[in-house]
Amino acid sequence: MRFNDRVAVVAGGGGMGLNISNDLISAGARVSLADLKPEPDGLRGEAGSFRYYRGDLTDETFVRALINKTAGEFGGIDYLVNTAGVLWFDRDTSFSNMDLGVWDQVFNINLKSFVLTSRYAIPQMQKRGGGAMVHFASIDALRAERKPQDAYATSKAAVIRLSKSIAIQFAADHIRSNTILPGPVLSPMQDRWRDKPDLQAAVAEAIPLGRLGTTQDQANACLFLLSDEASFITGSELIVDGGLTAQ
């Protein structure tokens, strides 16, 4: 899969966003990566092949500037990848008694950031005659648990549904929109597993393919869905979880 002369905006520069950005740059794309945090050490590419924007993806002014500067500097936008998200284990619990301020914050980050990036990227893709988007939801969108993170899970379910709506509303513009549903992945989001091999082994044991997911597993799926090889796939979900939800 080659992405020469294509331009991507990657929203969220944590474990997956960084891996996806580096893979897109290696495959010939120019990439704008955006996150609240300072630029990650591992972002690599030839001079002029990437830009890093530090800011809040729930802030419409920041998102508008991110999209406009990317289009201005790189000549347009072909791809959007939404990876920004938060999973606040301690504060995001049951809808029945959790702090509703936390509920709103989770929805702002996990869903509204996706609304904003898509809203501003779509006109740029229309100018190019098409484009592709990948949004990261979670297998948590598909099934409930005794110990819930209700804001996280339901915001991720909403991501799936909004992606379908984008796919249908903009199919005539040749803009594709798909969702990836990762299972457990070793990344900064799952810092609780870091340096805890026993805990990692216990999670891996529950996964039919016998291991935790990697950010590379997710990046591979993402680049496929963005690529021309996936040109007939839109409004769809790809579960990348080692078989966890199939069992």
Ligand X SMILES: NC(=O)c1ccc[n+]([C@@H]2O[C@H](COP(=O)([O-])OP(=O)(O)OC[C@H]3O[C@@H](n4cnc5c(N)ncnc54)[C@H](O)[C@@H]3O)[C@@H](O)[C@H]2O)c1
Crossing angle between the packed helical segments 15-26 and 215-226, to the nearest 10 degrees: 50
- How far lies 58's CA from each of 20, 28, 54, in Å? 21, 29, 12
Q: For residue 152, indicate whether it is catalytic.
A: yes
Position 187 contacts ligand X (CB under 6 A)? yes
Position 37 contacts ligand X (CB under 6 A)? yes
Position 131 contacts ligand X (CB under 6 A)? no
Position 210 contacts ligand X (CB under 6 A)? no
Instruction: Work out the burial of residue 101: count CB atoms within 10 Å of its CB; fewer than 13 is exposed, 13-18 middle, 19 or more buried.
Output: exposed
Region binding ligand X by CB under 6 A among candidate stretches 22-30, 35-43, 64-72, 73-81: 35-43
Position 185 contacts ligand X (CB under 6 A)? yes
Region binding ligand X by CB under 6 A among candidate stretches 44-52, 53-61, 116-124, 222-230: 53-61
Position 178 contacts ligand X (CB under 6 A)? no
Contact yes or no for 88/104 (Cβ under 8 A): no
Please tell me the count of residues contacting ligand X according to CB under 6 A. Answer: 27
Tell me which residues in 135-164 interact with ligand X (CB under 6 A): 136, 138
Q: Applying CB under 6 A, which of residues 43, 157, 189, 207 lies at the interface with ligand X?
A: 189
Contact yes or no for 173/126 (Cβ under 8 A): yes
Position 242 contacts ligand X (CB under 6 A)? no
Residue among 244, 155, 227 at smallest CA distance from 3: 227
Q: Buried b / exposed e across 140-165, counting CB within 10 Å, b at 16+?
A: bbbeeeeebbbbbbbbbbbbbebbbe
Contact yes or no for 31/24 (Cβ under 8 A): yes
Tell me which residues in 5-24 interact with ligand X (CB under 6 A): 12-17
Binding site for ligand X (CB under 6 A): 12-17, 35-37, 56-58, 83-87, 109, 136, 138, 182, 184-185, 187-190
Catalytic positions, written as ranges: 152
